[in-house]
Every structure is written in C-alpha cells, then in structure tokens.
Amino acid sequence: MNIQDELQATIEAMVQKGKGILAADESSPTIAKRFKAIDVESTEEHRRSYRSLLLTTPGLGDFISGVILFEETLGQLADDGTPLPELASQQDIVPGIKVDKGKLPLCGAPGDEITLGLDGLEERLEGYKQQGARFAKWRDVYHISVITPSRLAIEANAEVLARYAAVCQGQGIVPIVEPEVLIDGNHSIDRCADVAEAVLHEVFCALHRHHVVLEHMLLKPSMVTPGKTHTHAASPEEIAEQTIRIFRRTVPAAVPSINFLSGGQTPEEATVNLSAMNRLPQQPWELSFSYGRALQEPALQAWRGDEANAALTQAALYHRAKLNGAARFGDYSPAMELASSG
Ligand code: 13P
C-alpha cells in the first residue's frame, strides 16, 4: 500500500458513525496522579494490568474506533502474552501513540509553554509503527490569563504542531493535531472563543505552510467554554453554539473529524456538550470525542487497583463509551445515565 492509501485506510477505520477515540495515553506523572486519587501506587505492573483491562472490555469496539497509548503501553503484554496494541486491534480499535515529550516554559513569553519532541521524531515513529501504531498524537497547551496566550506562543506552538503532523504523514502515520486551550481560569466564554479562534487560525495556517494533507489528519481541540472558576456556567446549547461558530470560521471542511478532548469537564458534561453539538444542523466534519478523563473516571473509581473489580471496571468504561456513542448522533439524554451498563 502506498502512503496515501495507508493514511486513508487509517482515517476510514478511525472515523466511524457512533464511535470515537479513547485517550489512554497519560504520561507517567499524570497516571500517577490518577492512581493516587484511588490510592493505587503507579507501578509498571499496575499500569499494565489497568490498561489491559480497559482494552479487553467486551464490546468496546462498538463505540471506540481508536485508542491513544503511551510509549510504555505499546511495548507491554497482556497476561496471555498478547501485545497490548494487538488487544486493541482484535476489537477493531486502531492503536495510536502520544509522541510529544511534554512541555516547558516558552522563553520570552511569561506564563506560556511550548511542546517538545520533534528531535528524532522520524526514527521514533518508525519504531512505533513496527509496534503497531497507525496514528499519533501531539498536544499543545494554551493558558488563558490577562497576558496569555501571547502572539509568540500562538505562533511557536502552531509551528511545532504542523511540523509534527508533516513528519507523521511522511511516515504513513495519521496525526492527531491537539491544540488545547485550557479550561483553568475565571475567563468568560467569549474570551475563550477569541483565544480558540486565534489559536485555530494560526494552527491551520501552519498546517498549510507545512503541506499537511487535511483529509489525512484529525483535530483534537477543546470545546469553547467559560473558565472553570468563571461566575456563570454555560448551558450545553451555548457551548455547542459558540464552539461551532468558531470552528466554522477556522477549520477547513476537508478535515474529516473533530474529536474533542474532555479537558476537565465531568464525564456527564463532556457527553451532554457533544450531544448538543450533534443536535445542531449538520456540519462539514464529524463531531466526535477523544476523551481521557471523561471516559476513564468512572472506570478508575470502580477498579481501585483490585482485580476483583475487573468486571465492574469494564462495565463502567463500556457504559461511558456507549453514552458518548449516542452523543455522536445527538441522542444522549441524562436519563440514560441511570440505565444499566449492559
Ligand atoms: P482529557 O479528555 O482527559 O482532557 O484527555 C485527553 C487527552 O488526550 C489530553 O491530551
């Protein structure tokens, strides 16, 4: 298969009606934080057994078409010796890999950060591909404050994101392009909309400059919402309307799917907001999910590091995946939260 056909086949496997992506690519410090909240030590064995459990959830492939893994997970084996990426493939879930190396303060831009990881990326991708990865993810973050994100941060982060995407496509790996405007802060939804518009505009300029094929990438953005500590919460309809308004201005129709991150929304909020967007008149792109916390939180609470809770853990993940599958059609209602997880 040539590279264009390979990229197209991966897009078609990942972009399916009623399905979205499970983000299980927490870095070592992040998964340690998640485990600490349930009193579980973050050992390699605990991470392996928890993630094996997620990937062997019966029927997960009904609602999940791709899973983002962390580098360590790509090389781990299930109890029966099956590589973890293979567990995903067995359920028709495309395995992918987070490839950025985290972030550091951006020099010359107080309060802003820049994402690292371009050095040696091409070689790393070759190895990840041999381990089964067919797509990759790179996350840029933008803090909203009175002085951030600066013009410098918006331009510098767009540039690295586009360079990453171009390298991926050259290797036959579909890039997920993730510019996350953080929810932290007391800003209004209008301020978030202004920042998202500037960020997305710059990201797509950079993608164009680097000859990234828009048909062969996925966008993973945050929704347009008020800051977490803003005085007024927004309704799902307002979030949907503001998000779509900004995305129609900035995201070309050639992008096949927008897979939102949950970014600190509760599982219920992330699902109801996605459903509200899918209730609006049809848009040029699929509107889907690529949730980490919003899919995993109930599963982590059910697991608590105890193998005896395996079935409950998988039922919690399956239930959340199913509700987000309904949100893909705009068919979610809060009453479905109470339905049994079968
Ligand atoms: P959340 O949905 O928890 O924000 O995680 C998605 C993700 O992959 C962040 O990079």
pLDDT at 340: 56
Taking the CA of residue 25 as reference, the ligand 1 atom at the shortest distance is 8
Please return the burial class of 207, using the count of CB atoms within 10 Å of its CB with bins 0-12, 13-18 and 19+: buried
Indicate the residue type of 47.
R
183 touches ligand 1 (CB under 6 Å): no
Average per-residue pLDDT for the chain: 98
Which among 294, 298, 305 has a CA at the least distance from the CA of 48? 305
23 touches ligand 1 (CB under 6 Å): yes
| Mean per-residue pLDDT, 244-266 | 98
Task: Report the chain's terminal Cα–Cα distance, integer Å.
Answer: 39
| Mean per-residue pLDDT, 272-288 | 98
Tokens standing for 87?
Answer: 């567990």
| CA 252 – CA 179 distance, rounded (Å) | 15
pLDDT at 339: 76
240: left (phi over 0), alpha (psi -120 to 50) or beta: alpha
pLDDT at 120: 98
**CATH code where residue 78 lies:** 3.20.20.70
The answer to whether 224 touches 239, Cβ cutoff 8 Å, is yes
Instruction: For residue range 71-110, list pLDDT tens digits in order.
Output: 999 999 999 999 999 999 999 999 999 999 999 999 999 9
Residue nearest to atom 8 of ligand 1 (CA): 23
Q: What is the span of the domain harbouring residue 106?
A: 3-338
What's the number of domains the chain is made of? 1
| CA 167 – CA 337 distance, rounded (Å) | 41
Is residue 282 over pLDDT 60? yes
Strands, E assignment, the chain: 20-24, 64-69, 94-98, 103-105, 113-115, 135-142, 174-181, 218-219, 257-260, 286-291
pTM: 0.98
Q: Are strands 103-105 and 113-115 parallel, antiparallel or unpaired?
A: antiparallel
Taking the CA of residue 294 as reference, the ligand 1 atom at the shortest distance is 2
Residue nearest to atom 6 of ligand 1 (CA): 292
Instruction: For residue range 30-62, list pLDDT tens digits in order.
Output: 999 999 999 999 999 999 999 999 999 999 999
The answer to whether 160 touches 207, Cβ cutoff 8 Å, is no
Q: Omega into 175 within 30° of 0, i.e. cis?
A: no
Please return the burial class of 110, using the count of CB atoms within 10 Å of its CB with bins 0-12, 13-18 and 19+: exposed
Instruction: For residue range 123-141, list pLDDT tens digits in order.
Output: 999 999 999 999 999 999 9
Is residue 342 over pLDDT 50? no
Which among 200, 205, 224, 218 has a CA at the least distance from the CA of 289? 218
**Residue matched to tokens 């990881």:** 117
Q: Is 241 a catalytic residue?
A: no
Q: Is 71 a catalytic residue?
A: no
Q: Which of the listed residues 113, 161, 293 should we mutate to test ligand 1's pocket, taking the one with most ligand atoms within 8 A of CB?
A: 293
293 touches ligand 1 (CB under 6 Å): yes
| CA 220 – CA 133 distance, rounded (Å) | 18
Lowest mean pLDDT among 2-16, 225-239, 327-341: 327-341
Number of Cβ atoms within 10 Å of the Cβ of 4 = 13
263 touches ligand 1 (CB under 6 Å): yes
- C-alpha dihedral sign at 59, 63, 69, 74: positive
| CA 61 – CA 3 distance, rounded (Å) | 25
Is residue 311 over pLDDT 60? yes
